[in-house]
Chains A and B, each alone.
Chain A
Amino acid sequence: MFDEAGSGDQEKITPQNAGYRNPLDEIMKANREEDRLQEEKKKEITSKWMEGQGPEAEIVISSRVRLARNIRNIPFPPLASDEQRKKVYTLVEKNVQGKLGKKDKLKMIETSSLSPVFRQVLVEKHLISPLLAKEGYFSALLLREDEIISIMINEEDHFRIQCLLPGLQLERAWQEASRYDDFLESQIDYAFHEEKGYLTACPTNVGTGMRSSVMLHLPALVITNQIKRIFSAINQVGLAVRGLYGEGTEMIGNILQLSNQVTLGQSEEEIWQNLYGVTKQLINQEKKARELLQNEGREKLADRAGRAFGILKHAYMLDSQETMKLLSDARLGVDLGLLKRISLKALNELLVLTQPGCLQYLKGAELSPYERDLERAVQIQKYLI
């Protein structure tokens, strides 16, 4: 250990005691046992969709399709009694779980069995909604081992079937979600109306009950000031733009979420194909803007990425906004082959790992915003060693 007083030995001059000591170094070597535990927890936080693979993965982080479904003759969850919520829960427990083949198997996790901080982790991983995280009574999550399929039970609707894939894979996401929908329907009588389609608690979901979305990283369009113009164009084609964590979140880290708004009167294919078409166009625009920036000076971009990497690796305190910006800068560098010391997978994982819930889960304690900024820097340093 460090120079212990009274050890008697003559003090040697080493880099460690020569001068300034990095307090973070001491924090980081402090507890091996904690490290081991944290490695386990990190495995729980990382997910298949973060692997940085799939079509157009350098711009499209993930694709998602979710279907809202309800059981006939049971009030929707917001108005259902505890007894009725329990009925839904038991129905799933008896008729859904265990009837799926080995490959399709879903694990049923009751929300109330999870700690609040772990629920937050699941929200940050995009596996459950903030609403389900709050909803304790007889709500649950059905999760496939690879985490690509998740079904929320007793959220705003009785079922929210979700398929989350890396890269631009909307068709596959729709097919996979639909396959689970078929299975659920074989076991459960859905609330369905000939004219209005699948009936949902919120009129914005009625019809197909389908929300398809893509998570896009569009730094060059932001740098070249084109993003505002694109926003208004997107709204005109019936799509909604949101930040990384959905409704009410702003665009940080140059990441935005694009999703369909209309669910009634269009077929599922039309819905995802429309989103796909717009996404493709945005990808092209972004690529053009990236080319433009490179022509203006590759060195500038390399410098930007290198600086971001440097700060990520050496900062003592990082708030979430700065972190997202740095991750975005580094990501652009990686995409353009200008930064090779970090992978897309690492950037995706860090995106989630540095969120407040994950940091508190890793630390095993509640952290104030100030403490989180410290912990965020520690976790990023550990990750980048």
Chain B
Amino acid sequence: MKPARDAEKNINGPGKMLCERCGKKNATVHVTKIVNGNKSEYYLCEDCAREKGETGASWEGKFPLQQFFSGLMNFLPPDSSKAVVSKGYSGLQCPVCGLTYTQFCQVGRFGCAQCYEAFGQNLLPLLRRLHGNQKHRGKIPARVGSYVRLKREIEQLRQELNEKVAAEAFEEAAVLRDKIRQLENESAEGGEDHVR
């Protein structure tokens, strides 16, 4: 596969060159296009680039993230002895919108919410590389909220419990344990309706 590359680069500083289109202004936009494997490059000034529609984001061909992603997706973490990128991997397809995993790698966009499920484990290295993280810790919609929030609270309490036990603060730990049990009962009763 092609290495990650930026389709548009800004050229700053010394070594200025003139725009290839108007020949008047300094070229500040470097456009690299790869269409069906044929690469073409040109240097434009801001105005000509805008007129040619070479600035700004677009779904096809021009978006720097696309190439960036295809590079990222095929990245193998050095510590993974078993290749995450296996052969069956590119055959994945979302049953809802029909987007294949290969297409996703090319465009860097999901087709629908179910893609996240369909591509499952394969996404984890990508998410880890993008965010250094895999788990949401922010806002929760009120609708699905009560259940998820409860779960998060239990997790939080468990962590505290471990800390208390480690510190041999057993009385406090017992209080936490009871609280966790109570919350767990609540989540078992009300939870099922709320699971996606």
Which A positions have Cβ atoms within 8 angstroms of B? 70, 72-76, 78-79, 129-131, 134, 156, 178, 181-182, 185-186, 189-204, 206-208, 210, 238, 247-250, 261-268, 271, 319-321, 356, 369, 372
Contact of A210 among B97, B110, B138, B148 (CB under 8 A): B138
Q: Contact: A194 with B148, CB < 8 Å?
A: yes
| B180 interface hit (Cβ, 8 Å) | no
Known: A204-B65, A247-B57, A264-B131. A194 touches B139 (CB 8 A): no
Closest to B144 in A: A192
| B112 interface hit (Cβ, 8 Å) | yes
| B141 interface hit (Cβ, 8 Å) | yes
Which B positions have Cβ atoms within 8 angstroms of A? 8, 10, 12, 22, 25, 28-29, 46-48, 50-51, 55-59, 64-65, 96-97, 99, 107-113, 116, 123, 126-127, 130-144, 148, 151, 196
Q: 6 closest Cβ contacts across the A-B interface?
A: A265-B133, A197-B136, A130-B56, A191-B113, A79-B111, A208-B138
Residues from chain A with a CB closer than 8 A to the CB of B151 are: 194
Residues from chain A with a CB closer than 8 A to the CB of B136 are: 193-198, 207-208, 264-265
Contact of B123 among A189, A197, A203 (CB under 8 A): A203
Residues from chain A with a CB closer than 8 A to the CB of B131 are: 206-207, 262-265
A79 to chain B, nearest CB (A): 4
A selection of 6 A-B contacts at a CB cut-off of 8 Å is: A130-B56, A134-B58, A194-B144, A199-B116, A202-B109, A369-B48
Residues from chain A with a CB closer than 8 A to the CB of B148 are: 194
Known: A264-B134, A266-B133, A268-B139. A206 touches B127 (CB 8 A): yes
Closest to B142 in A: A185
Q: What does DSSP make chain A's interface, helix, strand, loop or mixed?
A: loop
Identify which of B29, B99, B123, B141 gathers the most chain A CB atoms within 10 Å of its CB.
B141
Cα distance A78–B65 when bound, in Å? 15
Contact of A264 among B58, B133, B140, B196 (CB under 8 A): B133
Closest to A249 in B: B55
Cα distance A131–B60 when bound, in Å? 11
Cα distance A197–B139 when bound, in Å? 8
Closest to A184 in B: B141
Residues from chain A with a CB closer than 8 A to the CB of B137 are: 265-267
Residues from chain A with a CB closer than 8 A to the CB of B55 are: 130, 248-249
Cα distance A178–B134 when bound, in Å? 23
Closest to A372 in B: B47
Contact of A250 among B12, B65, B196 (CB under 8 A): B12
Cα distance A182–B25 when bound, in Å? 48
